[in-house]
Amino acid sequence: MRAFLEFLSYRIEDIGKLTLEHLQITAMSISFAIIIGVPIGIFITRRRSLADLVLGFANVFQTLPSLALFGLIIPFLGIGYKPSVFVLFLYALLPIIKNTYLGITGVDPAVIDAGKGMGMTDFQILRMIEVPLSLPVIMGGIRISTVINIGTATLAALIGAGGLGDLIFKGISLNNSNMILAGAIPTALLALMVDTLLGKVEQRLVPKGLRG
């Protein structure tokens, strides 16, 4: 433990820099996944005949080993930051699309009928009833995708994108357990912290009657 703490103090600046790179890769991929995944999830609630096709297509990326998917992308996008964000974006899509779809389709039809009886348009029902009521489920998908991506982003170091994976893989190649822990522990802590933060965001976004 003493040797590990000494290593941390010696490499603290590098660890901070790599942590910021890790956060940047994850945040960018999750942002794209939310911007694209949530509208797709809403769309297939209106075209339910396409739901199985869309969810099945998104599921393909989840079944592929992450390392293999990184390898498949290299011939098309090369190495570095952009292909890493793209791969993590693909991995984040399924939970967000699926939870958006399940959340909205799980809204009580009686509540929707009440909205129609009040003269609401389809868009008003979506904005004022379906999305607020399904927000806990949608946020659950976002949290799952974010935590998964923080862990998977360590592999981005293998194609030159940086992040905490740099320390892990260098530690493995050098048989240096302190270096491995210096990358693995901050990654785990980062996942816990971000999940907690998103939980706080969810509490503020979700209507008071649905909290908890």
Structure tokens at 114: 């009440």
pTM of the model: 0.91
Please give the pLDDT value at position 212: 54
Please give the pLDDT value at position 209: 61
d(CA 23, CA 154): 11
Domain-wise residue ranges, the chain: 16-207
With cut-offs at 50, 70 and 90, classify the pLDDT of residue 68: confident
Q: 111-165: per-residue pLDDT in tens?
A: 999 999 999 999 999 999 999 999 989 999 999 999 999 999 999 999 989 999 9
Q: Bigger pLDDT: 208 or 107?
A: 107
Structural element, H or E, at residue 121:
none
Q: Tell me the mean pLDDT in the region 96-112.
A: 94
Distance, C-alpha 39 to centroid of its chain: 16
- Domain 16-207 -> CATH class: mainly alpha
Helix/strand/coil for 164: coil
Please give the pLDDT value at position 64: 83
Q: Tell me the mean pLDDT in the region 170-194.
A: 93
d(CA 186, CA 157): 15
Instruction: Tell me the C-alpha to C-alpha distance, in Å, between residue 209 and each of 54, 132, 203, 204.
Output: 32, 11, 11, 12
- 56: CB partners within 8 A, 6+ apart: none
